[in-house]
């Protein structure tokens, strides 16, 4: 039973507006005339839309199953272009005397393909890397060989970390060691003296400017890392005493990730620039100002200052940064510094899309056919049946009467449940009451469209009449930020977009955890508790597929092994001469691999299960041939995909 009437007038424009794809899609994603989500990819010098459904079909024909993470190198390259060209244009228009030298923070997506792509394509901009740990620095040094690009070293640093950085500096790489804690200075100076290298130093400062958004606590006075003003001045004095004040080249601050309000960004830049100018006036060499991260993208498609959105774009961000630094340095009479930003989320979020298939649906609606009631049915059940009869009467009901029927149905259903709990109503009568109740609710949902309603009525009904769609994925593995911090991700069907969606749904994953679901969605210009979707027509032979977008930042590396569900299958896609190219196809984790992460030995598991199977043969519960078949199934399971396989 459908809750919305089908409409032949539904179009792809209606779907685009409903799901907001042209707002959060940033021109990279759209809907084709066939009603399929397309991604715009580079084919030579031309841009060509490519259907996600077609990409999935090609992957399946090659033996790759869903869920599937699809990576688009073109989108990564375009994001690098947008950021760098945005700063270059702002520098030119503002007659700024410094340069822009961005760095990509490896922690945002550490996958080898990302680092390889960024260092190769970013070389034309001298686009560098930020390493926050020794493993990240080791990866950075293997890929970043551009002598004009920076490697910025944040995080805690032991002796080995520092030696790696200083050796890279010896070899001509511009490595900046950033002081996160006052105690790091002595260790860096000691190692640099022993190695005969004058280090290039930066210092991370805690701004007093309050930020905004979910990650505001990672900047300002509440920041775990960075020096306060007193500690900063002690560093300056110590370097001066050691004759090494010229080694202090960079001021760094981190305001937080995904800063939604451009005003907060500008205020932080202004304060940081004043501190920078003060360091120059103290005699430090300086020359570089690192603004950290914070450049936001719109996950919900809205143009507001919410944690899932932003009230500015890349162009405005770059222009405001240049203008704010110019104003403060001009007032102080200090030369313009080179600018570094560590914009990771804004660069890689669009890069990956997770495609899932719907395995099953749990619908809150009655079975077909009228519920038969006996003469001895409980009065509350008879009352519900009388309300149900009103739907069979001719004539138009008033809006007020529809509201009364809704209120009465909720009351009688709740009362029936209470009497069941006290033993006054039997199980079958309670079941009949639920059937009648859901029939009434479904009828009311269609009736409100003809009699009119206020927003609260439809909102209440939507919360009641919500299906559960079971998707072939794990929230904890593929969307950890959704579970941990309630991050909004765009979700929509990747096909059938010429059809009007007729259901309201919450998405559940295949873990056995109540938190394994998506129950907040951005659509219809609002944050809603359900998502309009089509009937998936389970059993038709055709999968109903959803795309979960903007998952390129953080999600791949933060995922865990909840329910021992591992990494999904991955494929990278490009287009050449009009033909799709599938590159870097990576199989997702097998069951054996995931178990080995948890210290199980797959061979030992098979041996232990074989003992159980043999004992069943000895006790004549199974035959030897059945043992062979059972062992084959067990070993095939170890080799198989951790997700639902068809």
Q: What is the pLDDT of residues 450-488, one digit of tens each?
A: 655 555 555 566 666 789 999 999 999 999 999 999 999
The closest alpha carbon to 339, from 314, 357, 318, 356, belongs to 318
pLDDT digits (tens, 9 = 90+) for 112-136: 999 999 999 999 999 999 999 999 9
The closest alpha carbon to 494, from 38, 7, 18, belongs to 38
Global pTM value: 0.91
pLDDT band at 2 (very low <50, low <70, confident <90, very high): very low
Q: Is 426 a catalytic residue?
A: no
Res 1 pLDDT > 50: no
pLDDT digits (tens, 9 = 90+) for 346-374: 999 999 999 999 999 998 666 666 788 88
- Please state the φ and ψ torsions of residue 204, each to the nearest 5 degrees: -90, 130
- Please state the φ and ψ torsions of residue 149, each to the nearest 5 degrees: -95, 160
pLDDT band at 617 (very low <50, low <70, confident <90, very high): very high
Active-site position among 153, 277, 318, 512: 512
Q: Quick one: CA dihedral 298, 304, 306, 312, positive or negative?
A: positive
Residue 301: DSSP 8-state:
S
Structure tokens at 612: 């159980």
- Report the 10 Å Cβ neighbour count for 639: 11
Residues 6+ apart with CB under 8 A from 576: 43, 44
Three-state DSSP class for residue 359: strand
pLDDT for the residue numbered 612: 96
pLDDT for the residue numbered 645: 87
Residues 6+ apart with CB under 8 A from 84: 100, 102, 122, 125, 127
Pairing, β 526-528 against β 531-533: unpaired
pLDDT for the residue numbered 168: 95
- Please state the φ and ψ torsions of residue 406, each to the nearest 5 degrees: -60, -50
Q: Average pLDDT in the 167-188 region?
A: 95
């Amino acid at each position: 039973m459908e809750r919305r009437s089908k409409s032949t007038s539904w179009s792809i424009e209606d779907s685009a507006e409903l799901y907001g794809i042209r707002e959060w899609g940033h021109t990279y994603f759209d809907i084709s005339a066939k009603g399929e989500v397309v991604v715009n990819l580079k084919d030579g010098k031309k841009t060509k839309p490519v259907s996600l459904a077609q990409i999935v079909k090609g992957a399946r024909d090659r033996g790759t199953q869903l869920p599937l993470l699809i990576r688009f190198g073109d989108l990564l390259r375009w994001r690098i272009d947008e950021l760098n060209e945005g700063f270059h244009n702002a520098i030119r228009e503002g007659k700024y005397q410094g340069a822009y030298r961005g760095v990509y923070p490896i922690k945002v997506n550490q996958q080898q393909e990302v680092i390889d792509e960024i260092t190769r394509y970013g070389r034309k901009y001298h686009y560098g890397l930020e390493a926050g740990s020794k493993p990240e620095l080791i990866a950075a040094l293997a890929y970043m060989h551009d002598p004009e690009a920076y490697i910025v070293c944040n995080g805690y640093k032991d002796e080995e970390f520092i030696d790696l950085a200083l050796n890279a500096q010896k070899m001509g790489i511009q490595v900046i060691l950033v002081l996160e804690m006052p105690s790091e200075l002595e260790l860096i100076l000691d190692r640099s003296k022993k190695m005969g290298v004058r280090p290039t130093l930066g210092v991370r400062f805690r701004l007093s400017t309050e930020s905004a958004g979910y990650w505001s606590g990672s900047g300002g006075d509440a920041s775990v890392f960075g020096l306060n003003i007193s500690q900063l001045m002690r560093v300056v004095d110590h370097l001066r005493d050691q004759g090494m004040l010229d080694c202090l080249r960079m001021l760094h601050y981190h305001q937080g990730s995904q800063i939604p309000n451009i005003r907060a960004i500008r205020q932080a830049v202004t304060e940081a620039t004043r501190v920078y100018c003060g360091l120059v006036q103290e005699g430090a060499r300086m020359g570089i100002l690192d603004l950290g991260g914070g450049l936001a993208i719109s996950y919900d498609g809205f143009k507001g200052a919410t944690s899932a959105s932003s009230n500015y774009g890349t162009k405005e961000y770059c222009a405001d940064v240049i203008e704010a630094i110019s104003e403060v340095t001009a007032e102080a009479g200090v030369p313009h510094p080179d600018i570094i930003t560590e914009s990771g989320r804004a660069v890689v979020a669009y890069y990956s899309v997770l495609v899932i298939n719907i395995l099953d649906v749990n619908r809150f609606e009655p079975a077909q056919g009228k519920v038969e009631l006996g003469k001895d049915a409980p009065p509350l059940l008879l009352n519900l049946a009388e309300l149900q009869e009103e739907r069979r009467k001719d004539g138009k009901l008033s809006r007020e009467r529809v509201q009364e029927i809704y209120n009465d149905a909720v009351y009688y259903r709740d009362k029936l449940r209470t009497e069941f709990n006290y033993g006054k109503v039997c199980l079958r009568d309670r079941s009949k009451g639920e059937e009648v109740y859901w029939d009434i609710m479904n009828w009311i949902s269609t009736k409100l469209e003809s009699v009119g309603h206020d927003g609260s009525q439809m909102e209440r009904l939507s919360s009641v009449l919500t299906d559960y769609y079971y998707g072939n994925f794990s929230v904890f593995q593929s969307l950890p930020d959704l579970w941990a911090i309630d991050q909004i991700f765009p979700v929509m069907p990747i096909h059938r977009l010429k059809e009007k969606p007729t259901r309201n749904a919450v998405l559940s994953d295949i873990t056995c955890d109540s938190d394994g679901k998506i129950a907040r969605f951005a659509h219809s210009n609002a944050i809603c508790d359900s998502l309009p979707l089509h009937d998936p027509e389970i059993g038709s032979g055709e999968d109903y597929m959803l795309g979960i977008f903007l998952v390129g930042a953080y999600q791949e590396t933060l995922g865990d092994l909840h329910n021992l569900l591992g990494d999904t299958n991955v494929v990278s896609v490009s287009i050449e001469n009009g033909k799709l190219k599938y590159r870097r196809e990576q199989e997702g984790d097998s069951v054996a691999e995931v178990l080995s992460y948890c210290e199980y030995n797959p061979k030992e598991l098979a041996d232990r299960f074989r003992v159980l199977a043999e004992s069943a043969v000895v006790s004549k519960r199974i035959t030897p041939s059945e043992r062979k078949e059972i062992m084959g199934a067990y070993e095939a399971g170890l080799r198989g995909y951790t997700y639902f396989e068809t």
